[in-house]
Amino acid sequence: MKNDHAEPRTASEAGWRLSRYNISAKHPENKGFIIVNLMKGTCITMDPIDMLPLSALDTLSEDSPVLERYKKAGIIVNFDEQAMLESLARGACAYPVSVGLTVCPTMGCNFDCPYCFENHKAEKMNAEVQDDIVALAERMLNASGAKHLHVTWFGGEPLLAPDVIESLSDRLIKLSADKGADYQATIITNGYLLDQEKADMLSRVKVNSYQITLDGIGPAHDATRHLAGGGPTFFRITENLRTVKISGKINIRHNVHAANKGEMEQLKAFVQTLAEESGNDLRYYPAPVSGNDASDERQSNVNLLCGTDSAEVGIMQDSHRFHRGRGHYCMAHHLWGVGIDEKGRLQKCWEDVDKPEHSFGSAKRWDPKDPLGTADDPDKLTVYLNTAGALRDAECRDCLWLPACCGGCPNKRIYMERQCVPYKNEPEAYALAVWQARLEKKR
Ligand code: SF4
Ligand code: SF4
């Protein structure tokens, strides 16, 4: 706290101290150090002379101008950072910037990957469920005051129900406009049915990001990602990517495991060539998965959005989306993101979208104004919400990574075990990667 009338104090007398969430790395060109603050989401470089004030907090005045830079970057703080994280976690259900719906227009799929455990019911979402979703989106926007609605089309294979995507998108886009909110969408598709007509429709309904999986080149891909009833898919998917003009970013996910690790460079080069030939914004995305995960399509999709077990890939992903500390890990920690299956059942986690037994309620009845009173099974909601606030976990409380990690994936915490950031023991590599990612952005 500032003392305007008393004797001048030193910085440390005024409570200034090093943040517990600083990490550092040597500057790669010998220009001192890179300091990253995980709480404030900042990254600065300092030469050794710059660093002197940090060891002089006992003598420098609290108002010394040489400290301003460090205060601004959160490198030194005069408040309890753990208390702030606790408040952020408690506030996770308060007012958000964005409402997120993960919608499965069908759980049916035209692929029959031998590893997929989904029960592929061909049923499509009916008109009544679509009405319920629009009404739910309106309740969520009203209750939250959010000015952004984001939809992720998921499944099953969502392009088996393009009519549902189109009609529901039109209504959600109109709703957003009426509420003064902006609207964006993403699709997770296997890419087999992505022809020009569908790509044009998706572009019109504001889908600006795609996620498509290739398991390798040609037969390597076809061995695991074949059609229901048999038949290859690689050629058709890649021809779609080559010939269809697709607006938006297309992330090509490669499930990397021991057996196909050697193909990474080859597939990456293939995707780059495909991008050059087509003019589409294709980006290769290696996603190392372990043992069973490699043979679990849904897990692959979930990992795509929710993280990886590989330190190297984790650093690559997270350094590019580095942000200030917050109280929640994903939509499972707050009220403003829900998964919805073709029957209108609501889930808190991507992993649960095909598990009706984990549903907490329905699009028809659930109202975030009374989230527990209107939940059909409030325990299925609270089990996730209450994993926010990892400060109750002694290991997380003392952990350097808490502002960024928030205690890890709630699903893993509930059903398996705490999932730490995969680069937990590599803060220097992470700091360096954050610095490099920022440099790339500036260029
Ligand atoms: S709980 Fe985990 S698996 Fe589920 S959506 Fe969140 S990060 Fe993904
Ligand atoms: S889950 Fe692991 S890495 Fe994350 S805050 Fe807790 S102890 Fe740290």
> Low-confidence residues of the chain, pLDDT below 50?
290-298, 300-302, 304-305
- Closest C-alpha among 241, 244, 236 to residue 253: 241
Mutation probe of ligand 2 site: the residue of 395, 412, 430 with most atoms within 8 A of C-beta: 395
Ligand 2 mean position, distance from CA 382 (Å):
21
CA of 187 to the centre of ligand 2 (A): 30
| pTM confidence score | 0.86
pLDDT of residue 220: 82
**In 257-311, beta strands by DSSP E:** 281-288
Q: Which amino acid is at 199?
A: A
Over residues 165-200, the pLDDT tens digits come to 999 999 999 999 999 999 999 999 999 999 999 999
Instruction: For tokens 């649960």, name the residue.
Output: 352
The full set of domain ranges for the chain reads 1-79, 96-415
| Ligand 1 atom showing the smallest separation from residue 307 Cα | 7
Please indicate whether residue 404, judged by its CB atom, sits closer than 6 Å to ligand 2: no
CB atoms within 10 A of CB 320: 14
State residue 150's pLDDT score. 98
Look up residue 123 and give its DSSP letter. P
Q: Which two tokens stand for residue 195?
A: 């022809």
C-alpha dihedral over 324, 329, 430, 52, to 10 degrees? 30
Centre of ligand 1 from the C-alpha of residue 251, in Å: 19
Ligand 2 atom 3: the closest Cα is on which residue?
420
Q: Identify residue 153 by its one-letter amino acid code.
A: W
Domain spanning 96-415: which CATH class is it, in words? alpha beta
How confident is the model at residue 338, as a pLDDT?
Answer: 97
Give the number of the atom of ligand 2 that is nearest the alpha carbon of residue 396.
6
Atom 7 of ligand 2, residue of closest alpha carbon: 396
Cβ of 408 less than 6 Å from ligand 2: yes
pLDDT in tens, 143-168: 999 999 999 999 889 999 999 999 99
Distance (angstroms) between ligand 2 centre and the Cα of 80 equals 19
* pLDDT 10s digits, 336-359: 999 999 999 999 998 888 889 999
Q: Is 208 helix (H, G, I), strand (E, B) or coil?
A: strand
Burial of 235 (0-12, 13-18, 19+ CB in 10 A): exposed
Give the per-residue pLDDT at 293.
43
Q: DSSP 3-state assignment of 284?
A: strand
Task: Please give the pLDDT value at position 115.
Answer: 54
What is the reported pLDDT for 21? 97
Q: Which helix (H) or strand (E) holds 402?
A: helix 402-405
Does ligand 2 have an atom closer than 6 angstroms to the CB of 405? Answer: yes
Q: How far away, in angstroms, is 372 Cα from ligand 1 center?
A: 21
Is the beta carbon of 420 within 6 A of some atom in ligand 2?
Answer: yes
